[in-house]
Structure 1
């Protein structure tokens, strides 16, 4: 899974990035690696449910102290971690090319398809 982290104060992505991402996703679907994905809103309507010290609490966003939010995600299937990291690099480059001034990152995490391995 790749998660795009970015500055929460950024506006919606420019049309050029939306178009480039659409083309990129179409290619990933054709290659058989794209399973799911989408953009997430900036956090104006988000709620965090947290367990801390035995208490469950909820906090509604937006979160003024947040330096980054998850702006989107993609679930792709690759043969190796290195292939997934290369895809993340391509996504960051698309953002750089089509969204002037954008800064952020793509975090690559494995989704377990069974029980996680024992340490």
Structure 2
């Protein structure tokens, strides 16, 4: 088994407002399917109303983020799956529910996580 990140940026989800309830219902159904299958680890959307902050090793906090992650937003799911092919199949289900393409990335294996 391996953990996979399936995600999309907010801008990719272009859905008419009147269709949003159906998208929410469809995405919740896929989440429930993943939970029922025992592969769901975590998921959610970045709260874009709360700006990111950086925390240093000494505990000091300052506004901002790494330049390469300044646009980190959107929706994320982490699934524990037997293969990359399985991740692609789940990504297709999420893409259909959310009505936008999904990016798939694999986490490095860590036996402690």
Q: Any stretches of 5+ residues in structure 2 without a counterpart? A: 55-61
**Structure 1 residues 10 and 32: alpha-carbon distance in aligned structure 2, compared to 1, 3 A threshold:** same
Q: CA deviation at 1:72?
A: 1.2
- 2:86 corresponds in structure 1 to 83
Q: CA deviation at 1:9?
A: 9.5
Instruction: Give the Cα–Cα distance (whole angstroms) in 2 for the partners of residues 9 and 85 of structure 1.
Output: 19
Q: 1:108 aligns with which of 101, 104, 108?
A: 104
Instruction: Give the Cα–Cα distance (whole angstroms) in 1 for the partners of residues 13 and 75 of structure 2.
Output: 15
Q: Map of 1:1-119 to 2, 5 A cutoff?
A: 1-7=5-11, 14-41=20-47, 43-47=48-52, 49=54, 58-59=63-64, 69-96=72-99, 104-114=100-110
Alignment coverage as a number of residue pairs: 96
| Structure with the larger helix share | 2
Instruction: Give the Cα–Cα distance (whole angstroms) in 1 for the partners of residues 12 and 108 of structure 2.
Output: 29
Higher relative contact order (CA 8 A, sep 6+): 2
Give CA deviations for 1:1-30 in whole Å, capped at 9, x if unaligned.
112223189688811111111111111111
